[in-house]
Amino acid sequence: MNSSVRNAIIIVLPLVLVPVLFFKSCIIQNTQPSDCKVVSAKIVALKAYPSLDIGFRGDQGERFYINRGVEFGLNLDSLNAKVLNKTVTLHLPKLLFGVTRHIAHLEIDGQILYSEFKN
């Protein structure tokens, strides 16, 4: 192999692989408890969005969401009664460069209200 082809491969390969690996790390799929950071937050507001997501706001200004939560049968009024002004435990999936705001598992006082974990 001549040196110009080898140099081209050395330059092009990282330019292709790095973005692919980066974007692949941003896709959340088949989340398991070991793939998550567990956090506690006191929920002070809930909101349903037109995208059918359910958004949560913590007392420290942090924001979380359940993707397509309304489609999964979660009821905003019921959630409001259970979690508003209470401390909940959240499992947030880890990515290559941090943690998402996407809720993979939500529980309060040991009661699971929502979970994406597969047994």
Residue 99 near residue 108 (C-beta atoms within 8 A)? no
Average of per-residue pLDDT across 30-45: 90
Q: Using an 8 Å Cβ cutoff, are 65 and 101 in contact?
A: yes
Distance CA 32, CA 88 (A): 19
Domain-by-domain residue ranges, the chain?
28-115
pLDDT of residue 5: 76
Query: Which pLDDT band, with edges at 50, 70 and 90, does 19 fall under?
Result: low
Contact 28, 35 (CB under 8 A): no
What would the pLDDT profile of 42-90 be if each residue is shown by its tens digit? Answer: 999 999 999 999 999 999 999 999 999 998 889 999 999 999 999 999 9
**Paired tokens of 91:** 């499992």
pLDDT reading at 15 higher than 60? yes
Report the CATH fold assignment for 28-115: OB fold (Dihydrolipoamide Acetyltransferase, E2P) (2.40.50)
Average pLDDT over residues 24-52: 84
46-83: b or e for each residue (b if 16 or more CB lie within 10 Å)? beeeeeebbbbbbeeeeebbbbebbeeebeeeebeebb
